[in-house]
Amino acid sequence: MKNCIHFFMLFLLILLLSGCWNRREVNDLAIAVALGIDKNKDETYSVSVQILSPGEVASPQTGGGVGYETPVTTYTGNGRIIFEALRKLTQQLPNKIYLAHIRMIVIGESVAKEGIYKPLDFLSRDPEMRTDFYIIVSKGNSAKEILNVLTSHEKIPANKLFDSLESSSEAWAATGKVKLNDLIDDLISEGTQPILTAVKIVGDADAGKNTDNVLTTDPKASLSYDGMAAFSNNKLAGWLNTAESKGLNYIKGKVKNTIIVIEVNKEMAGIELVDAKTEIIPHFRNGEPSIDVKITGEANIADSNSQFDFMNEQVLLELEQKTSDDIKGKVSQALDKAQHDLKADVFGFGEQLHKADPKNWDKIKANWTDIFPNLPVNTTVNIKIRRAGTITDPFHNDLPKE
């Protein structure tokens, strides 16, 4: 019995000791929260790493003011491959870069144009990196410039980018949350081309690097999402604007909530779409592919500067039709851009055809790039308005007439 107890205690001790063999103190690490990847003119990579300041790691403080210390510092290294560029940064940093807390990867436009599979190889291969970060593309600025902008409200720029992407995807629907595994799945798919959200600097990029940018109520520079980047065969094919990006998300069933402004007789009503569903129905007729897209949803009246009588059934029917038409218009814009300009199946129609009829898909997949631009896509939209808010008759209807 004693031997069993001794063996059990020894077993527990081994478990406890084995959990500490690779332990590293926080103060001995340079904790990275964002990574930016650009391409230099000499074909080398420029890798920028946003590192938490030591004081931020030890005892995070809020606010600014006298003695304000930037919560992050961005370091940049160059190399023939990304791993080399990162290791070269040890010449600038006293500690090893720790990548397990990365929240955002910013791919520079220069890299996106040449192809993104090489950077993704490092990101997917490194054992330290988790896969719960988001990947975006810089538009009009380098990835380094994006990471150099100090942000107000959320003082760690990587967190600002992360939180803003999540909130805009939930409430505006013109962006897309793409993680590493999602991107790789789309890249290796035979019937889907990847999309990534685009980010840009609004204002003066140089001013955004200074602490004054966060110590004012009117920052000279800010970071803003601006539509999406579409890829074809691993390379940037072009950009989708806000309306086209919303249309894309409607087709892909990614719209959870958004606002639609409807104009009737020069008067405006704000419609909040709260429950949208998309059904994609693939067909092969005599070997020829086609797609039906059916979008349904429910909406509320969120804002109105009009004299609409929301108790009137005909008024609601007209608003429902206008709302459906607005969505269908954005879907048409996205289809036109993808089929005739980008020539990239960012909707995943090919993947849907593959799942529905593998045999017929095998016959056309080699020519899908040529078939997609002329693929017939039929769209129907049916939105129902369920609620008019807490009031059914706007109070300004009772104001004295001028």
pTM: 0.89
SS3 readout for 236-283: EEEEECHHHHHHHHHHHCCCCCEEEEEEECCEEEEEEEEEEEEEEEEE
Tokens of 308: 């609409």
Does 2 reside within a domain?
A: no
Amino acid code (one letter) for 279: E
Is residue 320 one of the residues assigned to a domain? yes
Q: Are residues 218 and 247 in the same domain?
A: no
Pseudo-torsion of CA 303, 307, 311, 316, nearest 10°?
A: -70
Number of alpha carbons in the 13 Å side-chain half-sphere of residue 175: 25
Q: Are residues 218 and 316 in the same domain?
A: no
Q: How many residues does the chain have?
A: 402
On whether both 119 and 169 belong to a single domain, the answer is: yes
User: Does 108 map to a domain?
Assistant: yes
In a domain, 389, yes or no: yes
pLDDT of residue 215: 85
CATH of the domain at 292: 3.30.300.210
199: left (phi over 0), alpha (psi -120 to 50) or beta: beta
Chain centroid offset of residue 301 CA: 27
Work out how many domains the chain is built from and give that number: 2
Which residue segment(s) compose the domain that 114 sits in? 26-59+68-240
pLDDT in tens, the chain (402 residues): 556 565 556 555 555 555 554 445 556 789 999 999 999 999 999 999 999 988 665 555 554 444 567 899 999 999 999 999 999 999 999 888 999 999 999 999 999 999 999 999 999 998 889 889 999 999 999 999 999 999 988 999 999 999 999 999 999 999 999 999 999 999 999 999 999 999 999 999 999 988 888 888 899 999 999 999 999 999 999 999 999 999 999 999 999 999 999 988 888 899 999 989 999 999 999 999 999 999 999 999 998 877 778 788 888 999 999 999 999 999 999 999 999 999 999 999 999 999 999 999 999 999 999 999 999 999 999 999 997 755 555 555 555 565
Q: Are residues 210 and 248 in the same domain?
A: no
Closest CA to 343 of 316, 367, 314, 379: 367
